[in-house]
Amino acid sequence: MRELTYSQALREALYEEMARDANIILLGEDIGVYGGLFKVTDGLLAKYGPNRVLETPISESGFIGAAVGLAMCGKHPMAELMFMDFAWVAADQIFNQACKMRQMSGGQVSVPLVIRTQQGGGRGNAAQHSQSLEAHFAHIPGIKIALPSTPYDAKGLLKQAFRENDPVIVIEHKLLYNTKGNVPEQLAPIPFGVADVKRTGKDVTLISYSRTVLHALEAAETLAQAGIDVEVIDLRTIHPLDMDTIAKSVRKTTRVVIAHESHRNAGFGAELSARISETCFGWLDAPIERVGALDVPIAYSQPLEAHTLPSPDKIVQAVKRVKL
In a domain, 165, yes or no: yes
The strand pairing partners of 259, in sequence order, are: 291
Asked if 144 and 46 sit in the same domain, the reply is yes
Asked if 7 and 125 sit in the same domain, the reply is yes
Is residue 129 annotated as part of the catalytic site, yes or no?
yes
Give the separation between CA 172 and CA 181, rounded to whole angstroms: 15
pTM for this predicted structure: 0.97
Asked if 176 and 58 sit in the same domain, the reply is yes
Question: Phi, psi (5° rounding) for residue 80?
Answer: -105, 120
Give the separation between CA 236 and CA 15, rounded to whole angstroms: 22
Question: Which one from 76, 129, 136, 173 is the annotated catalytic residue?
Answer: 129
In a domain, 266, yes or no: yes
Asked if 206 and 151 sit in the same domain, the reply is no
In a domain, 166, yes or no: yes
Asked if 200 and 123 sit in the same domain, the reply is no
Asked if 121 and 233 sit in the same domain, the reply is no
Q: Residue 220's domain is classified under what CATH number?
A: 3.40.50.920
Structural domain total, the chain? 2
Asked if 43 and 110 sit in the same domain, the reply is yes
Tell me which residue range forms the domain holding 249.
196-323
**Cβ atoms of residues 198 and 143 within 8 Å:** no
In a domain, 86, yes or no: yes
Give the separation between CA 323 and CA 268, rounded to whole angstroms: 23
Asked if 277 and 155 sit in the same domain, the reply is no
Asked if 131 and 15 sit in the same domain, the reply is yes
Q: Based on the number of CB atoms within 10 Å of its own CB, is 22 exposed (0-12), middle (13-18) or buried (19 or more)? A: exposed
Asked if 158 and 54 sit in the same domain, the reply is yes
Encode the chain (324 residues) as per-residue pLDDT tens digits. Answer: 899 999 999 999 999 999 999 999 999 999 999 999 999 999 999 999 999 999 999 999 999 999 999 999 999 999 999 999 999 999 999 999 999 999 999 999 999 999 999 999 999 999 999 999 999 999 999 999 999 999 999 999 999 999 999 999 999 999 999 999 999 999 999 999 999 999 999 999 999 999 999 999 999 999 999 999 999 999 999 999 999 999 999 999 999 999 999 999 999 999 999 999 999 999 999 999 999 999 999 999 999 999 999 999 999 999 999 997
Question: Which one from 12, 29, 60, 80 is the annotated catalytic residue?
Answer: 60
Residue 169's nearest CA partner among 64, 297, 23 is 64
In a domain, 24, yes or no: yes
Q: Residue 55's domain is classified under what CATH number?
A: 3.40.50.970
